[in-house]
Amino acid sequence: MKIKYFQDIDTLYIEFRVADVFETKDLDENTLLDVDVDGNICSMTIEHAKERADIPAFSYEQIAA
């Protein structure tokens, strides 16, 4: 998984998996979801990210099964 924040355009891009994008779905006017041919999530784009997400306070935690 890769997470990129483009400060100059205030856009957050989260790549969940590397795959060919089959379709991009508009979740709302500022959120895009890319899926592959099987409907699996590839990536998500969030525009106006500073006001929609707490960008400076980021953490990642993996929980063992």
The answer as to whether 64 is a domain residue is no
pTM for the model stands at: 0.83
- Tens digit of each residue's pLDDT (9 = 90 or more) over 28-53: 999 999 999 999 999 999 999 988 88
> Between 65 and 20, where is the model more confident?
20
CA-to-CA separations, 43 to 61, 63, 64, 65, in angstroms, rounded: 19, 21, 24, 24
The answer as to whether 63 is a domain residue is no
The answer as to whether 61 is a domain residue is no
Residue 65 has pLDDT above 90, yes or no: no
Q: What percent of the chain has pLDDT over 70?
A: 97
The answer as to whether 20 is a domain residue is yes
Q: Which one-letter DSSP state was computed for residue 61?
A: -
The answer as to whether 59 is a domain residue is no
The predicted structure's pLDDT at residue 47: 96
Q: How many domains does the chain have?
A: 1
Range of the domain at 23: 2-52
